[in-house]
Chain A
């Protein structure tokens, strides 16, 4: 069991480019969550997905950000036309059932730097 795998670990993008962050959940987990951690801040919820469905995207910025979790393959967090303020650590977590009460399994994160 490899746990939650995120790649890349580090991503550098110029302003205006697109960033694609990938997350493969724990085998058998069908619930994926994305969190963002800005410097000197705690983790902030972005989006919760089940296979092929977005369940809660209340934490997603309204523009430029999108997420998907297709039937096959990893979950993708996509940021279009990146700006310096998007520089952050993006963490993915998965769980076997919906709900936080059993705890999440987190990935190592992707550190996005926008130059």
Chain B
């Protein structure tokens, strides 16, 4: 199984400041046929289901603000919130769909 390891477990960022979350996979999730990383990022607010933010590691889902960005390839990935807003308080998860069983990171809680 591919293990997804996120860090940190939680972080507190001032409004308007940058938040950075790391996600590392135990093996490469870069698909050799299309050179896409099968890595997605989700945001989950209390009492709500998760929401897809980014897919293919760095492509923003429609409607997601451009302060959210993703980077990385192979085994190391990063989610960046460039200027934290109050509504960004949530838990963020990375997810690999490269192989079965699909796996999630343990989550990173972002607070103000």
A, B: real partners: no
Name A's B-contacting residues (CB within 8 A). Answer: none
